[in-house]
Structure 1
Amino acid sequence: MSEKLTRYIVITSAYNFSGRCAVRDEASKSIVMATQSLFSEKVKIEVEASTIDERYVHLRFSSSNRYWRRNPDNNLIVAESTKPVDDLTDPSSTLFEQISASKTLFYLRHVQTGHRVVGDASGSPDSTPFHVAPDAGQYDGLLNFVNWSTLVKLPSHVAFKGFNGSYLQGVWAEDHQYLQFAAEDRNSEVAGHRVFLQPDGSLRIRSDHFSRYWQYQHDWIYASIPDPGHETNTMFWPVRVDGDTIALRCNANNRFCKSLDYAGKTRCLNAGADTIVNEAMMTVEELVMNRTISQVNNRTSPEFNL
C-alpha cells in the first residue's frame, strides 16, 4: 500500500522523475506534467480532508489558491475553483480519492464520476493534461508524490560540522581525495563545499579545496570528479534530522554517509550506514562570501590525523 498523502505534497511521475511535476497551466487552467523544481511554489499542493468521507480529499495549488475539479465540458482536470465543494451532486465537486497501486505508486479517482484521473507523465514535450478517463487501463494514471515537509534546501556554500565538532575537509591520502571531519575553522578553504541543487531535490556537492565533486567509490566518498555529467554516483539526498542537522543518503548504494575510522583512516566520509546513526549527523552552516585571497592561497593540504 502506498503512503497516504501528506498535508503538503508535490505530485511526480510514477517511473522516472526527470524534473516533471503536476503544475497548473496558466493559460488553460488545466493540470499537466511539466518540468519544474520540487522547490517551486507552483508545484506545491495542499491536501485538505473532506467533511463527508475520510477517504476523500480536496487538492489545492498553494501558489494560485485554486482547487482541482473536473471540467464537465471536456473531462479535463482544471485548477480554478476558489473553494472546496463536498457536494457530489454538484458538477463542480472537488473531491478526489487516492487509490493505492503498489508500495509507492497510486492513482487518483475522481469521486463524482468514479473514474480514474489520467495524464501523460512520460516526458513528452506535448504533455496530455490530466483528465477523467472512463476506460483507463490498469497502469494508466499512476503517480508518485513527495512530502513537501521533508524537502531540504541547503544554502549554496556551506560547511558540514560532524558529530565530533569538526568540519568536513578535503585531504590527500593514499592517492585519493578523501573527505575528513578534522577542520577546526569552518571558513578555511579546505572546509568549504558548494551545493548544487537538482530539480528532483537531490544534491551534487563540490569541494572548494579540490574543486572536484563528491563521488561514491567502494563506499568511500571522494572529492574526485571535475564534471559529474550524468553520473548517478555523484548524487546525494539530504534528510532533515532536526533544525540545521541533516544526514546525506548516497544515491549509489542508498545508504547514509557517516564518519568512519578504518584501516588507518580516521573520521573519513563513508556511505556505510543503513540508518541515521550519530556519526551520520551533520550540522549545515552557511559560509560567508568575504574570504580573503591570503586565506585561500596560504592554505596547504591537510594530512590525516592518525
Structure 2
Amino acid sequence: MTLPRFVVVKSNHNKKYLRYLKKEDGEEDAPAGFLKFTGEEAGSHYAKYEVEMAKSTENKGFVHIRCCYNNKYWVSVNGMDKFEGDVLIVAGADEPEEDQFKPSCTLFEPVYVDPIDDEDDDNKPDDKAEDDLEEGSQVVQFRHVQLGRYTCLHNDSDALVLFGGSNSTTDNPNNLDSRDVCTVVNWESLVILPKHVVFKGDDDNYITAQMCDYHSDDDDADGPNLMFDGRVDLGGRI
C-alpha cells in the first residue's frame, strides 16, 4: 500500500485539514512554517502536500513530505515559548535528508490503520469519519523515523499543530478519532471549482439572482432562491 503523490491530510480528531501557517496569520508563538490542523477547505493550496518515496534501499517504505506552498519538507524542530519542551513538525527543510542519525532527517513512515468492524465498539467512528473512508482516502499514522515517535494533534487545543511527541501508537490503533490518526486524501480525487461558475438545472435554465419585493421574513415555498452564503434554498421542494 502506498500513498498518492499529492495529498491532503485531515485530522480524525478535530476534522480539520493540516495547513501551512502563513506569516501574516500572526498567531502567538506559532511563526510561519508551522503546520496546524485548522484548515476548513481541502482544496486550499495551503493544505496540499507532495509525498516523495525515499531513494535509498535501506529506507524502503519511508517517505518525505513536502509542503507544496513553500516547497519545504516536514522536519522536526524544538519548540519555543509556550511550545517549549515539545517537538514540532514544520515545513522547514530545503532538501530531503535520509540519514536517520541526523536531527535534520525528513523521513516518515506511514503506518496504515484499519477501521474496526464491531458495531458495538465505543470507538466506532461517526458518520463523518466513515465518509472519509471512501475511495481515494487512507487512514494512517505518521512515524518520524529519526525520533521513533508518531506525529499527532497537540494536546493544547489552542495550538492545533502537528506534534512529534507521541512515543507509541494509540492506546487502541483502531480508534479512528485518536489524535495521531489522520485521513490522507488523494488531491487528484478532489473536485475543485473555479472562482466563478454558473449552475444549470435539468430544465436547461440557469440559476440567477432576482430582486424580490416581499419582506425578508416572508416564506417563499414556490421556488428556489440562491442564498448569500452560497446555499440554494429549494423552498421545501426536492
Q: So what's the TM-score if we normalise by structure 2? A: 0.62
Cα RMSD between the aligned structures?
A: 3.6
Identical amino acids, percent of aligned pairs = 24
What residue is the counterpart of 1:240 in the other structure? none
Alpha-carbon shift at residue 61 of structure 1 (Å): 0.5
- The higher relative CO (CA closer than 8 Å, separation ≥ 6) is in 2
CA gap of 1:14–1:28, structure 2 versus 1, over 3 A, is same
2:160 to 95, 113, 127: 127
Structure 2, unmatched stretches of 5+, are 24-30, 80-85, 116-132, 134-138, 172-177, 212-222
For structure 1, which runs of at least 5 residues remain unmatched after alignment? 160-167, 170-179, 184-189, 193-206, 212-222, 235-269, 271-306
Task: Write the mapping of 1:1-306 to structure 2, written as runs, cut at 5 A.
Answer: 4-15=2-13, 17-18=15-16, 20-24=17-21, 26=23, 27=31, 29-52=33-56, 53-71=59-77, 74-103=86-115, 104=133, 105-120=139-154, 124-134=157-167, 137-138=170-171, 139-155=178-194, 156-159=196-199, 168-169=200-201, 180=202, 182-183=203-204, 190=205, 192=206, 207-208=207-208, 224=224, 227=227
Closer/same/farther in 2, CA of residues 25 and 133 from structure 1, 3 Å limit? farther
Greater strand share, structure number: 1
Amino acid at match of 1:85: E
* Residue of structure 2 in register with 1:253 after alignment: none
Once the two structures are TM-superposed, the CA of residue 131 in structure 1 deviates from its matched residue by 2.2
CA-to-partner distance for each residue in 1:228-275, whole Å, 9 max, x for gaps? Answer: 98x9x99xxxxxxxxxxxxxxxxxxxxxxxxxxxxxxxxxxx9xxxxx
Secondary structure of residue in 2 paired with 1:91: coil
Q: For 1:94-113, what per-residue CA distance to the aligned partner results, in whole angstroms no more than 9, with x for missing partners?
A: 00011111254211001112
Query: Structure 1 residues 54 and 97 mapped into 2: Cα distance closer, same or farther (>3 Å)?
Result: same
Displacement of 1:125:
4.4
Aligned residues: 181
Give the Cα–Cα distance (whole angstroms) in 1 for the partners of residues 87 and 198 of structure 2: 48
